[in-house]
Amino acid sequence: MMQQESDDFRDKALTSAEDAASIILKGVKEKRWRILVGEDAEFLDQSVRADPESAYELEFFERLANREVALNFDDGN
């Protein structure tokens, strides 16, 4: 299961490695102290900032997983 998740992360990423590198390098060049790559990173950041107390609770991760399932369903995956 962990190998499948790793493969999916690599193969189904919404942001290519090349695009991620460009985003990161641009952020470094602009001396930004936080660089978020991809919609999933932005969503996770917003979720943690909105409710930091629950960020380490099971319900928090279940909400993230439910969002991921919904996104995959919408994409036809």
- Domain positions in the chain are 2-74
| Distance of alpha carbon 22 from alpha carbon 55, whole angstroms | 29
**What are the tens digits of pLDDT across the range 17-53?**
899 999 999 999 999 999 999 888 888 899 899 889 9
User: What is the distance between the alpha carbons of residues 27 and 6, in angstroms, rounded to a whole number?
Assistant: 26
pTM score above 0.85 = no
CA 12, CA 72: separation in Å to the nearest integer?
A: 10
Positive/negative CA dihedral, 35, 60, 1, 70:
negative
List the single range of 14-23, 42-51, 54-63, 66-75 with lowest mean pLDDT: 66-75
3-class DSSP state of 51:
coil
Nearest of 72, 64, 66 to residue 47 by alpha carbon: 64
pLDDT of 69 over the 70 cut: no
